[in-house]
Amino acid sequence: MIPCIDSADQTPTATMHSAGRPVCAILTRCFTVVFEEFPVALLAQPVVLKSNLVMLFEHLAGVPWSLFLDTATATHTNARFDMVFYEPVRTYQLSGDTITVGSAVDSAADSTVDNKHDQQRMATCATYPASQWQPLLREDVASLPSYTGPAHLPFQGGLAGAFGYDFGRQLEQLNAQADADIDLPELAVALYHKALIFDKQQQQLYLLAPESQWQQEAALWQGLAERPKQPQPEQSFKLLQPWQSNLTAADYAHKFAQVMQHLRQGDCYQINLAQRFSSCYEGSEWDAYLRLRAHNQGPFSAFMQLETGAILSLSPERFIALDTEGNIETKPIKGTRPRHSNATLDQQAAAELQQASKDRAENVMIVDLLRNDLSRVCDPGSVSVPALFKIESFPAVHHLVSTVHGKLSADHDMLDIIAATFPGGSITGAPKISAMNIIDKLEPHRRSFYCGSMGYISQHGAADTSIMIRTLVCANQQIYCWAGGGLVMDSECAAEYQETFDKVGHILPILAETAETTEPEL
């Protein structure tokens, strides 16, 4: 029986882990029974299945805490591994002042292969002050069993999930003016020791599972692979009304003028302004993701089923990657041009973007912001910019991308990097805190998971995360999609407004079918 306590009004006292790391005494008491039940070791081995990860995930779609990190057929340099995470042993949901920790209750021990995954449930173990998010996550990762398997696999047991944009309120004192109308947590992360990992370079699928359960898990997936799940007609995704924006063209122009005033006053030198599209829908969120996946090739795409909603991300942007040697990489995007069906015009658009002084200025502002953020957790003098103003092309747009590297200090980890850099500067503006406060004043609604981060943190030190642009959020049969851009003094209102539509040109129309989005005239 998992012990359950409510400790939201308790401040955990610090004890010392055997490795010298501070841990939470209350956590130790709460989770002792659970950790004693953890397997001795995790094992990853090749497995041959007569199916691909997309088809295999069909069996998990709709099951809370199922997560697919998907390179979405992209041939991008960062698109090597696809990963499916399932049956977490711990979940973490942060909302406001509280973080709720859930522990797995597997009621399907004697169930059949067809419904095993559908029967897992999460039982609440404890609630804590939101300020305890770092010790909670850090201690649970440290308590995972040892790993046996190929050393090159990026995930060897650990955390995976999503940090919403509004999680930034846990890190900085921010305004609270925008309407928080989407009933989802600010953080939804889970601790996993079961995953399917496909190495596109090797063309090899691996199964990660507790060593004592590995053969059983392999047999389960063999059975599922041989019986593909057939889509049901009633699960077909459908919008029930046309997309509606929370900003009219006139609204956008008015807020654009307010941004310009802040820039002239010196409050900021770049501010990201977004509009939000929404509609009501019926059917499967996974079906919607598959439609979008077919038209987008974001190397950091993802689908995550939440307890009361879903996240559908087609992101092209890396936030933070960390390897086991402490090498950090971030790749901010700043600068966009629409693609053209005419090859000559398309090449001209890419060339013009690469030389555009305005876009270069925006890009280097964010590069400088990220250099500053990384310097908080990196060895002195280790932060560098090996690539500046590179063009990366995707189905809908060309992007201007730069790369920033750093060497993580020995006394820091990935959770410290998140605390130092979140949310990514490419989707806030600069200076970051001032820009975020202005965003909260100008945008009518909070951003939820849009512009947050999705990814994994492995127990052996590796991590990779995205910036959740080109991302949709589903909750209470409502679907939301955002698009924005960085505004500077020489921005033009009409061009910036149009750019927001360019960025979702392979998203909104794909789901709209007969209900088309209207682009009002300025």
Annotated catalytic residues are: 317, 334
What's the whole-number average pLDDT of the chain? 88
pLDDT band at 180 (very low <50, low <70, confident <90, very high): very high
Q: Determine the Cα–Cα distance for residues 439 and 35; give it in Å rounded to an integer.
A: 42
Cβ-Cβ contacts under 8 Å for 381 (sequence gap 6 or more):
none
pLDDT at residue 13 tops 50: no
pLDDT at residue 2 tops 50: no
pLDDT at residue 30 tops 50: no
Q: Determine the Cα–Cα distance for residues 20 and 171; give it in Å rounded to an integer.
A: 25
Q: Where are the domains of the chain?
A: 14-226
pLDDT of residue 81: 95
Q: Determine the Cα–Cα distance for residues 285 and 225; give it in Å rounded to an integer.
A: 22
pLDDT at residue 519 tops 60: no
- At 403, is the secondary structure helix, strand, or coil? strand
Burial of 410 (0-12, 13-18, 19+ CB in 10 A): exposed
pLDDT of residue 40: 75
By DSSP bridging, strand 41-46 and strand 146-148 are parallel
Q: Determine the Cα–Cα distance for residues 344 and 347; give it in Å rounded to an integer.
A: 5
What proportion of the chain, given as a percentage, has pLDDT over 90? 78
Interior/surface letters 494-516, b for 16+ CB within 10 angstroms, e for the rest? eebbebbbbbbbbbbebbbeeee
Q: What is the mean pLDDT of residues 93-107?
A: 83
3-state secondary structure 140-169: HHHCCCEEECCCCCCCCCEEEEEECHHHHH
pLDDT of residue 214: 97
CA proximity to 161, closest of 464, 480, 500 = 464
For the stretch 57-93, pLDDT in tens is 999 999 999 999 999 875 667 779 999 999 999 999 9
Which of 188 and 394 is assigned the larger pLDDT? 188
How far is C-alpha 60 from the geometric centre of its chain's CA atoms?
A: 19
Torsion angle in degrees (nearest 10) through CA of 137, 143, 147, 151: 40
Q: What is the mean pLDDT of residues 329-339?
A: 93
Beta strands in 30-186 (DSSP E): 41-46, 67-70, 81-85, 90-95, 98-106, 120-129, 146-148, 158-163
The backbone region for 429, taken as left when phi is positive above 0, alpha when psi lies in -120 to 50, beta otherwise, is left
How far is C-alpha 452 from the geometric centre of its chain's CA atoms?
A: 6
pLDDT band at 235 (very low <50, low <70, confident <90, very high): confident
What pairs with residue 482 in β-bridges? 276
Q: Could you give phi then psi for residue 290, rounded to 5 degrees?
A: -60, -40
Q: Determine the Cα–Cα distance for residues 264 and 19; give it in Å rounded to an integer.
A: 51
Angle at 257 between CA 331 and CA 396, to 5 degrees: 40
pLDDT at residue 268 tops 50: yes
In CATH terms, the superfamily for domain 14-226 is: Anthranilate synthase (3.60.120.10)
Q: Determine the Cα–Cα distance for residues 484 and 83; give it in Å rounded to an integer.
A: 29
Q: Determine the Cα–Cα distance for residues 154 and 354; give it in Å rounded to an integer.
A: 32
For the stretch 239-257, pLDDT in tens is 999 999 999 999 999 999 9
Q: Determine the Cα–Cα distance for residues 122 and 307; give it in Å rounded to an integer.
A: 10
pLDDT at residue 261 tops 90: yes
pLDDT at residue 121 tops 70: no
pLDDT band at 115 (very low <50, low <70, confident <90, very high): low
pLDDT of residue 86: 97
Q: Determine the Cα–Cα distance for residues 189 and 327; give it in Å rounded to an integer.
A: 23
- Least confidently predicted of 65-79, 354-368, 438-452, 462-476: 65-79
**Are 400 and 390 spatial neighbours (Cβ–Cβ below 8 Å)?**
yes
pLDDT of residue 175: 83
For the stretch 416-449, pLDDT in tens is 999 999 999 999 999 999 999 999 999 999 999 9
Q: Could you give phi then psi for residue 236, rounded to 5 degrees?
A: -60, 130
pLDDT band at 515 (very low <50, low <70, confident <90, very high): low
pLDDT at residue 300 tops 60: yes
- Between the alpha carbon of residue 78 and those of residues 155, 227, 414, the distances in Å are 15, 32, 19
Q: What is the mean pLDDT of residues 402-426?
A: 97
**Are 188 and 162 spatial neighbours (Cβ–Cβ below 8 Å)?**
yes
